[in-house]
Amino acid sequence: MKNKLKRKTTIIAGPCAAESREQVLTAIKNAKERSVDFVRISLWKPRTKPGFDGLGKKGIPLLIEAVKRGVYPATEVLLPEHAKAIIKAVLPVLKNRKLLLWIGARNQNHHIQQEIARVASIDKRIFLMVKNQPWVDEKHWEGIIEHVLSGGISKDNLILCHRGFIPNGYNPLGLRNVPDYKMAMRIKVQTNLPMVFDPSHTGGSVPNVLKMFDQASKYNFDGCLVEVHHDPEHALTDAKQQLTWEQFDAQLKLYAKD
Ligand code: PEP
Ligand code: MN
């Protein structure tokens, strides 16, 4: 765990969606070898159109397995019930490890945001990450943060994530979501909270994900949330934008500062 101690940033990496036990065990092994801070094991997937939307509750044992194998799990929760079910199952095995839950960009009901934050606030080993909303609106982004804080999550346990905004006009790279780095930096400074960057949901394709890593490295992000799959071509979700672990290695070097 050498890198982990040296790094000042938070690296969250793993597949877009947990698909099977074998796939998650491979992700755990790869994440562990690279000392990433949290492994993405996302159980509930917001989907634009109906399709595979995650393993849901039956994937919770995979989070337990991650903890038992010495990595910290991270997953999106769509509802307070999801957070409750995970916490009930994972806390008894968590010991001195951490659990990261996050609220995705499309989850813009402030009652749900507040309640997830309230549920997550019951234990200091639980961290909550919140992404910006899909449309460009700085006030709304500030509001999400105010809503989760009013739900009771401590600032020490809150991480922000910039995943870009729906393209509206200028988009020469054909990004899936266009970052506003300056806005992200304003929100980071104003809230005094760590801000990680999501090159996957901004980039939308492997070449663009690599460009996003490069662009974002010029700003003062506190880490990244990145989709990495052992066999991206056959991924059940976001196949176009997931890196292989080997592609990820080259990017990880950017964060290995001491
Ligand atoms: C995700 O990170 O899995 C995701 C669905 O992204 P977003 O909430 O940014 O759309
Ligand atoms: Mn995805």
Question: For 164-204, what is each residue's pLDDT tens digit?
Answer: 999 999 999 999 999 999 999 999 999 999 999 999 999 99
Q: Using CA positions, which residue lies closest to atom 3 of ligand 1?
A: 16
Burial profile 168-194: b = 16 or more Cβ within 10 angstroms, e = fewer:
eeeeebebbbbbbbebbeebbeebebb
pLDDT of residue 7: 61
Q: How many C-beta neighbours within 10 Å does residue 64 have?
A: 16
Say if residue 48's pLDDT is above 50: yes
Helix, strand or coil, per DSSP, at residue 43: coil
Q: Residue 253: how many CB atoms within 10 A of its CB?
A: 8
The whole-number pLDDT of residue 4 equals 44
Q: What is the pLDDT of residue 1?
A: 38
Q: Which residues pair with 40 in a beta bridge?
A: 74
Provide the residue type at 145 as one letter: I
Looking at per-residue pLDDT, the higher value among 5 and 248 belongs to 248
Q: Is the pLDDT of residue 2 over 80?
A: no
Cβ 7 under 6 angstroms from ligand 1 = no
What CATH homologous superfamily does 10-255 map to?
A: Aldolase class I (3.20.20.70)
- Say which ligand is closest to the CA of 229: 2
**Residue 199 to residue 208: CA distance in whole angstroms:** 8
Helices (H) and strands (E) in the chain, counts: 10, 8
> Separation of 17 CA from ligand 2 center, angstroms?
7
Q: Say yes or no: CB of residue 113 within 6 Å of ligand 1.
A: no
Q: What's this model's pTM, rounded to 2 decimal places?
A: 0.96
Six-digit token string for 171: 């988009």
C-alpha span between 212 and 221 (Å, rounded): 12
Question: Tokens 């939307």 sit at which residue?
Answer: 53
CA angle 120/132/219 to nearest 5° reads 110
CA 15 to centroid of chain Cα atoms = 10
- In the chain, where are the structural domains located? 10-255
- Ligand 1 neighbour 42 (Cβ under 6 A): yes
Q: How many Cα neighbours within 13 Å face the side chain of 67?
A: 23
Residue 226 · residue 248 · CB < 8 Å: yes
Alpha helices in 121-244 (DSSP H): 138-150, 181-191, 199-203, 206-216
- Given a cut of 60, is residue 3 above it in pLDDT? no
What distance in Å separates the CA atoms of residue 97 and residue 94, rounded to the nearest whole number? 5
Q: Does the beta carbon of 163 sit less than 6 angstroms from any atom of ligand 1?
A: yes
- Binning pLDDT at 50, 70 and 90, where does residue 5 land? very low
Is there a contact between 53 and 44 (Cβ–Cβ < 8 Å)? Answer: yes
Å from CA of 104 to ligand 1 middle: 5
CB of 27 within 6 A of ligand 1: the answer is no
Q: Tell me if 104 CB under 6 Å of ligand 1.
A: yes
Ligand lying nearest the CA atom of residue 132? 1
Give the span between the Cα atoms of 210 and 105, in whole angstroms. Answer: 21
Could you identify the residue written with the tokens 């739900």? 151
Q: What is the pLDDT of residue 8?
A: 81
pLDDT top residue among 9 and 3: 9
Taking 80 as the threshold, does the pLDDT of residue 257 lie above it?
no
Cα–Cα distance for residue pair 185/162, rounded to 1 Å: 10
Tell me: pLDDT of 54 over 80. Answer: yes
Instruction: Identify which of 77, 82, 135, 163 to mutate to test ligand 1's pocket (most ligand atoms within 8 A of the CB).
Output: 163
Alpha-carbon span 26 to 34, nearest angstrom: 13
Q: Tell me how far the alpha carbon of residue 198 lies from the centroid of ligand 2, in angstroms.
A: 10
Instruction: Decide: 29 and 15 in contact? Cβ < 8 Å.
Output: no
Please write the tens of the pLDDT for every residue from 85-138.
999 999 999 999 999 999 999 999 999 999 999 999 999 999 999 999 999 999
